[in-house]
């Protein structure tokens, strides 16, 4: 009797457990053919490519332990899948949904084609807690403000019955026609200086994601509500890149944190709200598909943004002369990640003190972050720029000196990424240009020589930003 075969299409769900598509497919077929298709038209950043390469290696190893083989293809998924169906006796074709506009449009076409060819095609939610089209307020429309959105979604998620892990899946150990090796994807650019630095700071893969979650719950979560804003301390989860690539599911994170017995409700709720913000970002993206490039608030299309490539480059390189800003940008380049509090600080500085378009920040973050996520990244930049549906008020302009003094009081974070300021005393660590010449000589850091002077005056540029906002108000 011929085996019944089905294909699971891996996308941003690079895990074997808590994977709805694999679990459903294992009940339909005798063996699963696991595939990954690298779509050249799918937006992906330079640093994300580094993570993807390692994540695929870990996934391939995990499949081999289950006597399976990951088949990798390059090209237009529609064409690749059409060939796979013609060349193989496939009964079912399943995947977990993605929610960016490009993926939605592409996947609709593929699903329609499969169904017309009488292939059992089903898709699942393996990426979010709740899907955007399922969440509506009392008036029947979607939520535009996070707090009521999360209050509603949290209640739904809290009362949900979670499925148990299904390990029945059997994978086919066969190399299909035109299947490539991971190295054929050419994801690693040897000319990029950050390559080795990224690998030193991160451990991609499903097992490492599970270990990261356990470590966070055991050692960090009970300090999260207060420690999360301190870049000089290590109380963040570092789960965001694992979530982005689907090495762990948000449902599992929600379940494991909610059920943790020794963690206070305050710390649980603070962290779960961050998972909720990720969902909310995709809720906005689904309803505002152009929000990656256009402001949700129409009036901001007329905002008088400046064009200043010189200052933009200094911001990117961490050479603005504002320590907390520069530390964040250097952390980003060195590790592929930036503390969330600092992301808000550098974002505010770019869009309000430099008055540069938030698109510049969105593009730079997307290219350099290991957790570059199209939903969270664009929603975050619209929030800090004051132009999103649920945005920080425009006049909330973060003062980087005060932010540094409050959240990095001894300058430990600054000194970690800006060693030229190592000997500056606490009083001046966030405003070193105010040191006397004598003090500069004593600490071995001459402002304007060893470390740059501020490229803008914070007070003047704050006033300039507020004046610009008045023009569109």
SS3 content of the chain, % helix, strand, coil (to 5): 50, 10, 40
Q: Residue 403: which CATH number?
A: 1.10.579.10
Pairing mode, if any, of strands 71-74 and 90-96?
unpaired
Identify whether 269 is part of a domain. Answer: yes
Q: Using CA of residue 243, residue 336, residue 43, residue 75, what is the dihedral sign?
A: negative
Residue after which a domain boundary falls, among 265, 287, 309: 287
Looking at the structure, tell me whether residues 273 and 398 fall in a common domain.
Answer: no
Looking at the structure, tell me whether residues 363 and 411 fall in a common domain.
Answer: yes
Identify whether 140 is part of a domain. Answer: yes
Identify whether 221 is part of a domain. Answer: yes
Identify whether 170 is part of a domain. Answer: no
Looking at the structure, tell me whether residues 385 and 244 fall in a common domain.
Answer: no
Q: Do the beta carbons of residue 205 and residue 54 sit within 8 Å?
A: yes
Looking at the structure, tell me whether residues 152 and 275 fall in a common domain.
Answer: yes
Looking at the structure, tell me whether residues 263 and 302 fall in a common domain.
Answer: no
Q: What is the pLDDT of residue 390?
A: 86
Tokens of 113: 């084609």
Reported pTM: 0.96
Q: What is the pLDDT of residue 188?
A: 84
Looking at the structure, tell me whether residues 121 and 151 fall in a common domain.
Answer: no
Going by C-alpha positions, the residue among 211, 216, 225, 319 that lies closest to residue 264 is 225
Q: Do the beta carbons of residue 74 and residue 180 sit within 8 Å?
A: yes
Q: Using CA of residue 279, residue 282, residue 286, residue 287, what is the dihedral sign?
A: positive
Q: Residue 91: which CATH number?
A: 3.40.50.620
Q: What is the pLDDT of residue 2?
A: 67
Q: Residue 267: which CATH number?
A: 1.25.40.80
Looking at the structure, tell me whether residues 217 and 341 fall in a common domain.
Answer: no
Looking at the structure, tell me whether residues 315 and 271 fall in a common domain.
Answer: no
Count of CB atoms situated within 10 Å of the CB of 250: 23
**Average pLDDT of every residue of the chain:** 95
Q: What is the pLDDT of residue 162?
A: 63
Question: Could you tell me which residues come within 8 angstroms of residue 224 by beta carbon, excluding any fewer than 6 positions away?
Answer: 235, 236, 237, 267, 270, 271
Identify whether 377 is part of a domain. Answer: yes
Going by C-alpha positions, the residue among 99, 95, 91, 140 that lies closest to residue 117 is 91
Alpha-carbon distances, residue 108 vs 58, 113, 292 (angstroms):
29, 9, 21
Count of CB atoms situated within 10 Å of the CB of 264: 14
Looking at the structure, tell me whether residues 385 and 446 fall in a common domain.
Answer: yes
Identify whether 314 is part of a domain. Answer: yes
> Which SS3 state, helix, strand or coil, does residue 469 take?
helix
Looking at the structure, tell me whether residues 45 and 84 fall in a common domain.
Answer: yes
Identify whether 442 is part of a domain. Answer: yes
**At 248, phi and psi to the nearest 5?**
-145, 150
Q: What is the pLDDT of residue 81?
A: 97
Instruction: Work out how many domains the chain is built from and give that number.
Output: 3
Looking at the structure, tell me whether residues 313 and 439 fall in a common domain.
Answer: yes
Tokens of 162: 């979670």
Print the domain residue range for 91. Answer: 5-126
Looking at the structure, tell me whether residues 134 and 225 fall in a common domain.
Answer: yes
Identify whether 273 is part of a domain. Answer: yes
User: pLDDT below 50 — which residues of the chain?
Assistant: none
Residue after which a domain boundary falls, among 75, 99, 126: 126
Residue 333: its H or E element: helix 323-335
Distance (Å, whole) CA 312 – CA 360: 8
Q: Do the beta carbons of residue 21 and residue 8 sit within 8 Å?
A: yes
Residue after which a domain boundary falls, among 255, 287, 319: 287
């Amino acid at each position: 009797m011929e085996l019944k075969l089905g294909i699971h299409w891996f996308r941003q769900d690079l895990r074997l457990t808590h994977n709805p598509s694999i679990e459903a497919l294992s009940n339909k077929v005798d063996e699963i053919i696991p595939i990954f298709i690298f779509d050249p038209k799918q937006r992906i950043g330079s640093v994300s490519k580094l993570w993807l390469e390692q994540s695929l290696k870990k996934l391939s190893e995990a499949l081999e332990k289950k006597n399976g083989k990951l088949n990798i293809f390059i090209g237009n998924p529609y064409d690749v899948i059409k060939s796979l169906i013609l060349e193989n006796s496939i009964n079912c074709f399943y995947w977990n949904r993605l929610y960016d506009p490009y993926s939605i449009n592409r996947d609709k076409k593929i699903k329609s084609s499969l169904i017309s060819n009488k292939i059992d095609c089903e898709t699942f939610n393996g990426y979010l807690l709740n899907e955007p089209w399922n969440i509506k307020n009392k008036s029947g429309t979607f939520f535009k403000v996070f707090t009521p959105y999360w209050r509603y979604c949290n209640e739904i998620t809290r009362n949900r019955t979670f499925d148990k892990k299904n390990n029945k899946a059997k994978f086919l150990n066969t190399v299909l026609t035109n299947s490539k090796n991971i190295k054929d994807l050419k994801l690693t650019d040897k000319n990029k200086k950050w390559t080795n630095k990224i690998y030193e700071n991160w451990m991609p893969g499903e097992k490492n994601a599970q270990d990261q979650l356990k470590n966070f719950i055991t050692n960090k979560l009970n300090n999260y509500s207060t420690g999360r804003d301190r870049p000089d301390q290590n109380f963040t989860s570092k789960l965001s890149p694992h979530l982005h690539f689907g090495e762990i599911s948000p449902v599992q994170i929600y379940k494991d944190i909610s059920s943790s017995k020794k963690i206070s409700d305050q710390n649980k709720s603070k962290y779960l709200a961050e998972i909720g913000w990720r969902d909310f970002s995709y809720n906005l993206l689904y309803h505002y598909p152009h929000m990656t490039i256009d402001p949700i608030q129409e009036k901001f299309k007329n905002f008088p943004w400046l064009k200043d490539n010189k200052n933009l480059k200094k911001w990117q390189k961490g050479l603005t002369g504002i320590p907390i800003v520069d530390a964040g940008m250097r952390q980003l380049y060195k590790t592929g990640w930036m503390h969330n509090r600092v992301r808000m600080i550098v974002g505010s500085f770019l869009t309000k003190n430099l008055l540069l378009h938030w698109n510049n920040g969105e593009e730079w973050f997307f290219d350099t972050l290991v957790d570059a996520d199209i939903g969270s990244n664009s929603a975050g930049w619209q929030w800090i720029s004051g132009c999103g549906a649920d945005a920080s008020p425009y006049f909330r302009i973060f003062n980087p000196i005060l932010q540094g003094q409050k959240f990095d009081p001894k300058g430990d974070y600054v000194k970690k990424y800006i060693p030229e300021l190592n000997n500056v005393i606490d009083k001046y660590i966030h405003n070193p240009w105010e040191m006397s010449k004598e003090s500069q000589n004593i600490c071995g850091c001459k402002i304007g020589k060893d470390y740059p002077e501020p490229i803008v005056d914070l007070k003047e540029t704050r006033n300039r930003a507020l004046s610009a906002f008045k023009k569109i108000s």
